Structure formats: C-alpha cells, structure tokens
Structure 1
Amino acid sequence: MQLGSTGIWSIELRMADPHEIADAAAELDDLGWGTLWIPGLGGGDIIADSERLLRATHRLNVAIGVASIWRHPADEMAAGHARLQDTYGRRHMLGLGVSDPAAAQAAGRPYRPLADMGRYLDDLDQAPTPTLPTERLMAALGPKMTELAGQRTAGVHPFMVTPDYTAAARQQLGDGPLVAPYQAVVLERDPAKARAAARDFLGVFLGMDHYARSLLRQGFTEQDLAAGGSDRLIDSVVAWGDVEAIGTRLRAHHQAGADHVCLHIVSAGPGMPLPQWRELAVLTA
C-alpha cells in the first residue's frame, strides 16, 4: 500500500464531532495529504472511526496508529479491516502495538512483547479473512520488534524518534519494508513557547518504560528524560518553528530512509487544527 510521502496524525480526527471530522477529512483529501492516521487511545470502535474517514474521502489512505493488541481481539480487527478494504478500495492500514505491561495486566495476561505480537499476527493470518502482511504495520521501537515487523508486516511506525533513528531502522530493514515515523510538530517560532507546548504533550510518555528505553537507545540520557525532557531531547524529537523549519525536519526523515512521515500538530488550541494543516499542505508536494 502506498501511503504517500506525508500524512496527518490526529487525535481530533477520532474524537471531535463526527460531522466536523468528515468535513475536515474531505478537505485534507483535497489538500493532497497521503494518509490520515488516528491513534488507538484507550480502545473503542476504531474500525468505525476509520470508516468515518474513509467514507468522507476518495483518494487518501486511513491508518490506525496504533491499536493495542490487548484492547482489540484479532478476529474482530481482521473482520473489520477486511470489510473496510472491500468497501473503500483497499485504502486502510492496520497499525498494531504491544503497549506496555499495564495493558497486558489489565487483559489478564503476562507481558511477553515479541511472543505476544507474534501470536497476534498468527491470529490475523488464520482469520476467516486474513489480514495481508502488506496491509498491517507495527509500532516497533527496539531492534527485535523491528526485525519482526520487517518479516511479517509492511513495516514500522515508530513514535518519538529522530531522523537518526529512521536511518538506523532503514539500515536494519533494508529496502522494501515501510519506515513511517510519527513526527510531533509545533508551529511556533518562539523557542520557550514551542518547547513548553512540546513538553505538555510528550512529558507523560517520558515516564513510560518502553518509550524511555527507546530514547536511551537513541543516545539520550536519564537527565534528558527528567523534568519533561531537556531542550536537547525536545528539539530532537519535536519539529518546531515555521513551515520551513518543519519542512527541514520532514526532509531529514526522508533523506534518512523514511517512506512516509505523519505530522501531528501539538498545542494548536481547542478544536480541529485546520489552519495549521492548510499551512503545512505545501509540504505534501
């Protein structure tokens, strides 16, 4: 599946008023974005939320970025994904993640990430309508999970990573598998305001073990992770500034080997960040 070079990752496209979501999706389709990504959040009917976007659009793809394997049974996801593919012209990408030990515990299971994901992929393969490997990807961060993604899915959709990480993922995966990183964006030229907005959003993730370990593997220190993130960390994983600055980061990911980069507008205020999406649409060219 061709995701296009750039996409939009948005909580609002899942959680806002349904009519507002449909109108925004139609406009984003016209603006030339390649893929719309919606997060898994705490579960819920993410297949229906994907369908709302597919119904409102004609060209672009819709991707789940990502659904927790602990909150969405594989048979239900396979059936829902198959229906969307048949109905809307194979424009849906199923993104999967193993979450963290707390999610597994809530599901009454021990946490063995590689084995758990492998078993879930087996279940997708064995469903009455199997989910094709080319139509699913993984929120892999560590090298072993990245290897599994390259072997059994379309590729990886990593969160809170730098272009250097993208380069390492491409080197590990080789040609072929997708590398589609998430990129947080703050359209703000003032460094203090931009970093404050970034910390407000990303701070909670720095306390999660799997994200902390990923950042440490990327060369950051425990000090970088403290107090909401050092300036060095924030500047490395968040693109902030004007459209030109955002474009520079986008190109850095592509030059490092990314096939697709999805941009998440952080701290645009309440409501749908349509003005920012319109402003950034020049980057889809």
Structure 2
Amino acid sequence: MALGRLGVWYSTDKLNGSQLGELMKTVEGNGYSAFWYPESRGYESMSLATHLLSKSSKLTIGSSIANIYARDSYTAKRALVSLNDWYDGRFILGLGVSHIPMVEGVRGHHYDKPIPAMRAYLDGINKDVPAGEELPVVVAALGPKMLALSGEKSQGAVPYNVTPRHTKQAAAILGPDKILAVEQKVTIETDAHRARTLGRKELARYMVLPNYRNNWLREGFTEADLANGGSDRFIDAMCLWGDADTVKKGLRAHFEAGATHVCLQPVHADGDFAARDRMLAALADT
C-alpha cells in the first residue's frame, strides 16, 4: 500500500456521524494522505472504518488500533479484505494488544502476554496468504520485541506516544522497506502554560497505563518526569507546541529519525473544532 508522507490521528468517539463526515472532508481537503482512528469505548472499529471510507474518496483510512481482543483474526482478515474490495484498496488494518483495563475491565477477556498473543493473531491473519503477497497490516509496537515482530509478520509499525529518539530506534529494528507511521500530538499555541495544560489533559489517560509508562522509561524519561501530570520536559516532548513553524520542525524530526509517515494529532480545548481545523490547515505542508 502506498502510504503518503503526512496523516492525521484523531479520537473519533467524541464526534457523531455527520461530524465525522465533515472531518473527513477537512482532512482530505487539506491534502493529507491518511486518517487514523482508535478503538476504545465508543465506535466499533470495522463499522467505523466503513463510515469513514464512505465519507472520503482518496484518503487511506487506518485503524490505530483495532483491538485484537475485539474480534478473532479470521474476522479481522475478512473485514480487511472486504473493505479494500469495496473502497479501492484504501484501508490499512492497524492492530494492537491494547491495555489490561480495556481488555479485562471493559471487555471481560483475559489479557495474555503481548508478544505471543500478537504473534498468534498475525499468524491467523497471514494464514493462506500466497507466498510473496502481503496484506496491508501494521502493528502498534513500542518495545523492541514487538517492533521486531511487526517487521517479521506485517508491513510495519504504528507507534503511539513516542519521540524521535524512539522513532530512530524503531526504524533500525524494522529495517528498510517497512512502514513506520508515527503519531505525534501537536497544538499551535505559543503560551507555554496554556499549551502544557492542554498537553497534560490529553495525556492524563495514558499516564496510568503500564505499556506507555514502561516505554517512556526506556526512552530516558524518569519516574519524576511521569509524576504529578508530567514534567514540562515530558509534556513538551509528547505534545509539540508553539507557532506553526516550530511545530513543523518537531514533526520533521520524526522523518529525519526514519519515520516513513507521521500522523499528527491536533490537541485543542474540548469542542473547539475550529481550532482543530485551523491546525490541520496550518500544518498540512510540513
């Protein structure tokens, strides 16, 4: 799958159907190549993909991520094949192991060891795929072992909540000819206090999840950086802020580190979709 340089990641659960359609027009109209969406407590991933694909004409739509505990590998594969048949090959299936609270607390499943669980799932996805053919599948990978598995059994990785330092390490592990689609939160805000307040609010739900915390510690952040809502150093890395040129420079750092695609996530005050759309317009030429 030809995945362009720049995409958008956005939390779709906060929008209704018509708002999702308007967002697709905005993303596509600004020239972004892809739109990525999560699967959390709201919309079901494959039905949401159908809606997003129907509301766009050129965008690649990517799940980032579809929870492997939400459907078996056979069902996920059939959805992948069906969506690409119906919508001109514009769907890419991003898979992830999610987190214990979402798997056990919300879905009522047992959370297995991540690497064996993902390996078995990818084996199911790849079953009966002809030799030399590769399905448009990528994996939410943070640690070295999951990144290596992504390179071995899929088209690449979709890391979330990472820095260019992680991007450089991920590119080295994945090797050449693999997708490395990196998410980066951004806000065009020049006031440090307002920018960091937005960043802290956006990151709060992730900072209690061990998968992310462990990766941030591997990246060189400390427990002190992760305490009390996050240090300024940590927040500034996780949510780029400043004027448009400053934010673009931060986004380009991921490309310089080896990313093949960067999906920016606009961070804004609740309900301020006009600010979101201004950011998407201002950063489209990164």
- The alignment's TM-score, normalised by the length of structure 1, stands at 0.92
Taking the aligned partners of 1:20 and 1:57, their CA distance within structure 2 comes to 13
Q: Secondary structure at the match of 1:282?
A: coil
Q: Corresponding residue for 1:60?
A: 59
Higher share in helix: 1
Structure 1 residues 46 and 15: alpha-carbon distance in aligned structure 2, compared to 1, 3 A threshold: farther
Task: Kindly indicate whether residue 85 of structure 2 is the aligned counterpart of residue 82 of structure 1.
Answer: no
Q: 2:150 and 2:281 mapped to 1: Cα distance? A: 33
Deviation of the 1:148 alpha carbon: 0.1
**Matches for 1:143-182 after TM superposition, within 5 Å:** 143-182=144-183
The residue that corresponds to 1:244 in the other structure is 245
Q: Tell me the equivalent position of 1:9.
A: 9
| 2:39 partner letter | G
**d(CA) in 2 for partners of 1:236 and 1:133?**
34
Does 2:223 align with 1:225? no
The one-letter code of the counterpart of 1:46 is S
Match of 2:47 in 1: 48
SS of the equivalent of 1:175 reads: coil
Q: How many angstroms apart in 1 are the aligned matches of 2:270 and 2:41?
A: 22
The counterpart of 2:279, out of the listed 276, 279, 283, is 276
Q: Distance in 2 between matches of 1:171 and 1:96?
A: 21
SS at the partner of 1:204?
A: coil
Amino acid of the structure 1 residue aligned with 2:156 = G
CA 27–44 in structure 1, closer or farther in 2 if over 3 Å, else same: closer
Q: How many angstroms does 1:237 deviate by? A: 1.8
- Alpha-carbon distance in 1 for matches of 2:221, 2:184: 17
Measured after TM superposition, the shift of residue 134 of structure 1 is 4.2
Counterpart of 2:2 in 1: which secondary structure?
coil
1:9-36, CA deviations, whole angstroms, 9 ceiling, x for partnerless residues? 1114x54221232233123212210100
Query: Matches of 2:111 and 2:212 in 1, distance apart?
Result: 19
Alpha-carbon shift at residue 141 of structure 1 (Å)? 0.4
Deviation readout 1:145-164 (Å, 9 max, x if unpaired): 00000001111111111111
Separation in structure 2 between the aligned mates of residue 194 and residue 161 of structure 1, nearest angstrom: 18
Q: TM-score, normalised by structure 2?
A: 0.92
Q: 1:108: Cα distance to partner? A: 3.3
Listed one character per residue, the Cα deviations across residues 185-227 of structure 1 (whole Å, up to 9, x for unaligned) are 1111011110111000102211111100000000010000101
Q: 1: CA distance between counterparts of 2:28 and 2:231?
A: 36
Distance 1:29 1:268 in 2: 23
Distance 1:58 1:120 in 2: 30
Residue aligning to 2:34 = 35
Q: For residue 189 of structure 1, what is the amino acid of its counterpart?
A: T
Q: Deviations over 1:82-127 (max 9, x none)?
A: 1110011111010111112344434433521111001111221237
Instruction: State the alpha-carbon separation in 1 of the partners of residues 60 and 91 from structure 2.
Output: 6
Task: Provide the identity percentage.
Answer: 32
**How far did 1:76 drift?**
2.1
Q: Tell me the residue number matched to 1:123.
A: 124
Give the AA of the match of 1:277: L
Q: CA shift at 1:133, angstroms? A: 4.1
User: Which residue matches 1:139?
Assistant: 140
Q: How many positions carry a matched residue from both structures?
A: 280
Counterpart CA distance in 1 for 2:80 and 2:73 is 10
Partner of 2:98: 99
Q: Distance in 1 between matches of 2:128 and 2:232?
A: 46
Deviation of residue 74 (structure 1)? 2.0
**Aligned-partner Cα distance in 1 for 2:42–2:177:** 31
- Structure 1 vs Structure 2 CA RMSD: 1.9
Tell me how far apart the structure 2 counterparts of residues 18 and 99 of structure 1 sit (CA, whole Å). Answer: 25
2:184 is the counterpart of 1:183: yes
Alignment gaps of 5+ in structure 2 = none
TM-superposed deviation, 1:271:
5.2
Q: Distance in 2 between the 1:270 and 1:135 partners?
A: 33
Distance in 2, Cα, partners of 1:264 & 1:212: 20
